[in-house]
Structure 1
Amino acid sequence: MTKKKSARQLRGQLMLQIAAGRFFRPGFPLNETEHRYTVYSNAWFIGDPPIALPVGEVVASTEMGHISSAMIAIVDRLEQQRPDGTDDFVIATGGTDLVDDLAYLMSFALNRTVSRNHDQTRRLVTGDGAPRGRSANDLFPELFEPRQTVQPGQWDDLRGFMKDLLSLSRDDFARVMRVIRNSVDATRRAPDDPTGAYTDLVAALESVSDDKLSTSVTWDRYDGSKRTIIDAALIDAGQEVADRVRAAVLEAERSGLKRRFISSTLARLSPDYYRDDAAGSIRPPRAPDLERMLGIAYDIRSRRSHVLEDLGEGVWLFTDGAETAYEPSFERVLTLAGLWRLIRHVVRRYVINAEKVAPEPWDYREALPGIVEMQLAPQYWIWQVGGLTAETATRRLNGFAEALIGWIAGQHSDGLPLDQVCQEIEGLVPTLPDGEARTSLIATHVLWHAWVDPTDHRPEASTFIDEYKAVLDAPSTSAFTVSLLSNHPMPTWSADDWVAMAQSRNDTRHTKSQAPLPAVVDALIQLFTADELELAGRHDEAVAFAANAVTELPGNEALVGWEARLVAGDHDPDFDVRTFLFGERKREVSEEPSGHEQSGEPSTEQNEAVTVEP
């Protein structure tokens, strides 16, 4: 079963379904905002204005040039209240995503270009001086051919397609819209980069492949060059063994991406693809050739992706819109026009056959376009209580260290009131086993109290520190961070202890599960280790750890200069750590960062990201 995507993963892809009311709660009031935008097309829209569609309507102009204009009007609908009952401050989106999605659908279903971009449409439709064979009209007949019409029957066809499309599940709808956008965009780029457009069309077609539709080839239709090699290797094997090997090879081929692409595409071709759908096409592909040509198309895409091998110009130049062409390396291949008709047919069949689902309430807000997620500065969340766990322990220490460094450096004046967090730590630490999470929480507690006047320590906090501070005597990145950012003396670990700690940290930095630390702290872990090794006479090892320090803060002049002197044998044991950490504008160490000095209360959400909505 396919895992459903979250609203965040579907951001900007469901606007037409949202506007169609697929996710609203019954009886809840809506904000309705009509957006009107001008679009440009190579088509004359015939029909009584306005031409109504399942979402939006089209009001055509009366001009009859190479390109024409029309007005797309579409109503942006959003619920007035959030699921928690509060009023939603998002009244409407900008509307361009809605209009563009409808324009993409019209281009795809009507085979007529529709776009808000006037200059691009004019260039594609008129050719803009392109030589014969290289214009968009030469590559895609009707799609960019001037003065095309859209008859009432074609509008009905578009309405039926939209109705089926809007009835799909969220994931299926988003999948189809991505294919439509990517394939339409590929046709628009084709005159400038035909090979890139070709591979993009194949990739779009591949994105609707389905393992369930994958089928095996028979041995006599398996790739001839591979079949010859395998048959030669099996010449001395018994018939039963040979049959099993061939069956295994065919099964492996069936599960491959290329076979899935070919099988899925062929399975979604209806009889109409070779009948009414092919009427008027120039050299459409013949059924016995199509499987081989799909394999060639997939190989061309792979070659373009991996070795940037371009197609010969015969695939697209001077084809006069034919759907197949001769290419010396492959003989008969699908052209851009052939891929375009094929993908339009396959996507239509996908939409027709996909499961239709009834509308149901769903919180769509994170799927709206125009939402930007940004990392929230740590001083706005590290003091929040209620979300502290073993899983978030290292992140809390990292946030506090980063905020404290910024405060000492004078980069912000926000207070860091962690007393309530420390009370949480006092309750959580006794329940945790020895390990990184437990040590990080102890380090956070000790570090904050190092900056608070001892006379202000709660008795419980003093008792906690007395009981657990010995944990920070052992080599660890948490212990180093506490000593670095407080008045605690730097640990007197042996050179081997420093190496074990720094090497372990360097190794975990290459994994996703690493505990976060400010970059300056990570750099100083490696630098201090290099310093200890150089003092111990282990120069080569010191140089290696100095290099680690530089790569933690690439381009930092202080680190690069220190490393160069170390390599040259002019070791500087008095690296200016304080200036490196805090810069020239340092606060007086007598000040305390514990006050809550910012005006207004930040959000109380336990989250390190802030969301900015349209």
Structure 2
Amino acid sequence: MLQISAGRFFRPDISINERTHRRTVYSNGWLLDQTPVKLPVGTIIGSTEIQGVSTAMLEAVDRLEAKRPDGTDDFLFATGGDELIDDIAYVMTFALNRTFSRNHDQVHRLVLREDAADRRGSAASLFPGLFEPQQVIHAADLDTLKQFMNALLTLAREDFVRVMRVIRNTIDATRRAIDDPTAAYTDLVAALESLSDDNLTTPATWDRYDGRARKIIDAALDGENQALVEKLHAAVLEAERVGLKRRFVSSTLARVSEAYYRNEAVGAVRPPQSADLERMLSLAYDIRSRKGHVLEDLGDEAWVFTDGAETVFEPTLRRILTLAGLWRLVRHVVKRFVADAPKTEPEPWDYRNALPGIVRMQLAPQYWVWQSDGFDAQTAEMRLNGVAEAFIAWGAGHSDEGIDLTGVIGKVEKLVPSMPDGAAKAAMVAIYALWHDWTDPKDHSPGAMNFLDTHADYLEAPSPIAFTVGVLSNRGIPEWTVDEWAELATARRTARTKGKETPLPTSIDVLLQLTTADELETAGRHDEAVGFAANAVEECPGHEDLLLWEKRLIAGDHDPNFNCHKFLYGKEIVAEPSEHNPSIPPDESCAAAEEQQG
């Protein structure tokens, strides 16, 4: 929201809608000068005298283009404002190391009470400054904030989003550290890792490679000639360089400047020494991995009794970075990243999908499958899936909408003759066949019979698309051999597992596996049938009719008349066809479809 409200993406000569949002934020910081302070985005106004938790007013102007890229008036005048204010508060918190939040209860819980007898175990002991009460904010602090925000706003969009994600996640981690310190620790490490860059990764030297691994490798190479030993050492170090851990350590170290050990360390308790930082980062990564992989927590000595120290002695690991140490390191690395990253000039960009509160979902098929615009070879398979879903929904009574594919059918007739063989062409033929099988003959295309005869192979040769047409129309399922059924169902299952299948309704995938199991059981290939029956059940987990059918098949009491019609539409009696609405195939079982075909 910050870059959008700053006008980074607006087109020239386009009117702008503006709305001012104001929110109260709670903070352990107090503005020394109570006059309004204008930031690159927003204004902060001190509201109370210095207290343990003070209040301030954050004001920001929500700015959006009044016209969409297509020239129409934009219906969205402004966002709700909370996200914009929160983004400003996050950046202020990060840059100033002072808490700013709209959450009254959270801030009062985290900020150390002025009359607290013991600070141990408090959020203030974990993150000095961030949750200390009555922290004065001077004019120089605000200048630092403005410089950071200005640099942040001029980042390329990808870098900006990356940094804002780190800022939000790390601040959220500090706020829940009291409840789950290990999770907060791993989140801080993960934030650093998200800024890793292959270009900053450097190999370790053999003497600094992991000691245990080095001993094992050197023992195996004992007695080999020196050239081979050096070659293998180099290969191991290169493999380690491209690893995620080395990438994390190297990238972080590359962004640590002299200031980290000098003026920024003034007042810090036991700050990291430069000679130890590489090892500490490696240990921090290991701690993150242990939490993520085996749910191992940090010992209390790593956080409870640190009292703001940035490093602590941990019995099994020697000195490690504490939460306070990681927090200062994250802030330093992010500031270096923002300062060093390329800056960009404002340029037009359709930012609407990046606005808060946008929920992306696919419309029900009946609302889009009839649109001929955008229908082509690239979208044909997805369109077939939508058409099948729409017909099934209409047959089940879930939709009363008519489906008029006249425009789509016209494009199929124009496109198919010149298309190469393949799934896209088959999908178009299938859409054409389904439309003409499900509609009143008076609505058929004049050349429909000739078109379908010319491309009949696409509806007869074994394929998931041909099966779909067979199940959803009065054509019936083609007569394929048992081996063809097995090959088809196996190939479909493999494609489904890899995520490379033609999209089809779940019920179609179920019936393909089920029908294959039927065919194999009838042919006496029981063990194979049981495998495909399992596939059918697992495509629609928990379906009682499928579970009963599978149980009977396994027990040798095969039911060859599974009610496909009921499975597809959820009922056995359907309405009569009407103009521009599909007619429902009357068969009640998979077997009935095959008998009708015969």
TM-score (normalised: structure 2):
0.93
Question: Counterparts of 2:398 and 2:21 in 1: how far apart (Å)?
Answer: 43
> Does residue 349 of the first structure (1) align with residue 300 of the second (2)?
no
Question: Counterparts of 1:471 and 1:34 in 2: how far apart (Å)?
Answer: 60
Identify the residue that residue 528 of structure 1 maps to in structure 2: 515
2:475 alignment partner, SS class: coil
8 Å contact from structure 1 (residues 394, 440) kept in 2: yes
Identify the residue that residue 437 of structure 1 maps to in structure 2: 424
Question: Counterparts of 1:345 and 1:442 in 2: how far apart (Å)?
Answer: 60
Question: Counterparts of 1:392 and 1:385 in 2: how far apart (Å)?
Answer: 11
Distance 1:184 1:455, change over 3 A: closer
Identify the residue that residue 225 of structure 2 maps to in structure 1: 238
Matches within 5 A, 1:226-265: 226-265=213-252
Distance 1:515 1:130, change over 3 A: farther
The one-letter code sitting in structure 2 at the alignment partner of 1:540 is D
Question: Counterparts of 1:192 and 1:262 in 2: how far apart (Å)?
Answer: 28
Question: Counterparts of 1:84 and 1:366 in 2: how far apart (Å)?
Answer: 15
Q: 2:537 aligns with which of 529, 545, 550?
A: 550
The one-letter code sitting in structure 1 at the alignment partner of 2:562 is F
Identify the residue that residue 36 of structure 1 maps to in structure 2: 22
> Does residue 145 of the first structure (1) align with residue 139 of the second (2)?
no
Q: 2:41 aligns with which of 55, 58, 66?
A: 55
Question: Counterparts of 1:358 and 1:190 in 2: how far apart (Å)?
Answer: 38
> Does residue 298 of the first structure (1) align with residue 285 of the second (2)?
yes
CA shift at 1:423, angstroms?
2.0
Identify the residue that residue 571 of structure 2 maps to in structure 1: 584
Question: Counterparts of 1:503 and 1:575 in 2: how far apart (Å)?
Answer: 21
8 Å contact from structure 1 (residues 254, 260) kept in 2: yes
Q: 1:374 aligns with which of 361, 366, 376?
A: 361
Distance 1:546 1:78, change over 3 A: same
8 Å contact from structure 2 (residues 25, 101) kept in 1: yes
Distance 1:81 1:496, change over 3 A: same
CA shift at 1:589, angstroms?
4.2
Question: Counterparts of 1:66 and 1:112 in 2: how far apart (Å)?
Answer: 12
Question: Counterparts of 1:79 and 1:586 in 2: how far apart (Å)?
Answer: 53
CA deviations 1:181-239 (Å, max 9, x no partner) are: 11111111110011111111111111112222222233322222222222223331222
Distance 1:456 1:247, change over 3 A: closer
Range with greater deviation from structure 2 (353-362 or 280-289): 353-362
CA shift at 1:585, angstroms?
7.2
CA shift at 1:75, angstroms?
0.5
Question: Counterparts of 2:20 and 2:94 in 1: how far apart (Å)?
Answer: 24
CA shift at 1:396, angstroms?
1.9
Identify the residue that residue 112 of structure 1 maps to in structure 2: 98
Question: Counterparts of 1:141 and 1:453 in 2: how far apart (Å)?
Answer: 76
Range with greater deviation from structure 2 (90-99 or 211-220): 211-220
CA shift at 1:455, angstroms?
4.3
Distance 1:101 1:575, change over 3 A: same
1:36 alignment partner, SS class: strand
Q: 2:310 aligns with which of 295, 316, 323?
A: 323
Matches within 5 A, 1:33-432: 33-126=19-112, 133-432=120-419
**Structure 1 vs Structure 2: percent identity of aligned residues?**
60
Question: Counterparts of 2:149 and 2:364 in 1: how far apart (Å)?
Answer: 44
Range with greater deviation from structure 2 (471-480 or 355-364): 471-480
1:375 alignment partner, SS class: coil
8 Å contact from structure 1 (residues 269, 345) kept in 2: yes
Distance 1:86 1:585, change over 3 A: farther
Distance 1:405 1:357, change over 3 A: same
2:309 alignment partner, SS class: coil
**CA RMSD across the alignment:** 1.9
Range with greater deviation from structure 2 (210-219 or 83-92): 210-219
8 Å contact from structure 1 (residues 422, 445) kept in 2: yes
8 Å contact from structure 1 (residues 409, 586) kept in 2: no
Segments of 5+ residues of structure 1 without an aligned counterpart are: 1-14, 596-614
CA shift at 1:132, angstroms?
5.1
CA shift at 1:451, angstroms?
2.0
Range with greater deviation from structure 2 (575-584 or 514-523): 575-584
The one-letter code sitting in structure 1 at the alignment partner of 2:66 is Q
Q: 2:435 aligns with which of 448, 463, 466?
A: 448
The one-letter code sitting in structure 2 at the alignment partner of 1:94 is G
Distance 1:264 1:347, change over 3 A: same
Question: Counterparts of 2:118 and 2:521 in 1: how far apart (Å)?
Answer: 69
Range with greater deviation from structure 2 (206-215 or 281-290): 206-215
CA shift at 1:470, angstroms?
4.3
CA shift at 1:104, angstroms?
0.7
2:26 alignment partner, SS class: strand
CA deviations 1:330-381 (Å, max 9, x no partner) are: 1111111111111111111111111122212222122111111111111111
CA shift at 1:297, angstroms?
0.9
Range with greater deviation from structure 2 (206-215 or 173-182): 206-215
2:22 alignment partner, SS class: strand
1:387 alignment partner, SS class: coil
Question: Counterparts of 2:171 and 2:177 in 1: how far apart (Å)?
Answer: 10
8 Å contact from structure 2 (residues 173, 184) kept in 1: yes
Identify the residue that residue 451 of structure 2 maps to in structure 1: 464
The one-letter code sitting in structure 2 at the alignment partner of 1:201 is L
The one-letter code sitting in structure 2 at the alignment partner of 1:485 is L
8 Å contact from structure 1 (residues 446, 469) kept in 2: no
8 Å contact from structure 1 (residues 139, 316) kept in 2: yes
Distance 1:471 1:54, change over 3 A: closer
Range with greater deviation from structure 2 (429-438 or 203-212): 429-438
Question: Counterparts of 1:501 and 1:480 in 2: how far apart (Å)?
Answer: 10
Distance 1:21 1:130, change over 3 A: farther
Q: 1:485 aligns with which of 468, 472, 480?
A: 472
The one-letter code sitting in structure 1 at the alignment partner of 2:105 is D
Question: Counterparts of 1:27 and 1:236 in 2: how far apart (Å)?
Answer: 76
8 Å contact from structure 1 (residues 409, 585) kept in 2: no
8 Å contact from structure 2 (residues 565, 572) kept in 1: no
Question: Counterparts of 2:243 and 2:570 in 1: how far apart (Å)?
Answer: 56
8 Å contact from structure 1 (residues 37, 73) kept in 2: yes
8 Å contact from structure 2 (residues 270, 309) kept in 1: yes
Question: Counterparts of 1:216 and 1:499 in 2: how far apart (Å)?
Answer: 52
Question: Counterparts of 2:443 and 2:9 in 1: how far apart (Å)?
Answer: 53
Q: 2:3 aligns with which of 17, 29, 50?
A: 17
The one-letter code sitting in structure 1 at the alignment partner of 2:396 is A
Identify the residue that residue 593 of structure 2 maps to in structure 1: none
Question: Counterparts of 2:482 and 2:222 in 1: how far apart (Å)?
Answer: 64
2:111 alignment partner, SS class: helix
The one-letter code sitting in structure 2 at the alignment partner of 1:249 is V
Question: Counterparts of 1:383 and 1:285 in 2: how far apart (Å)?
Answer: 65
Question: Counterparts of 1:373 and 1:384 in 2: how far apart (Å)?
Answer: 20
1:466 alignment partner, SS class: helix
1:301 alignment partner, SS class: helix
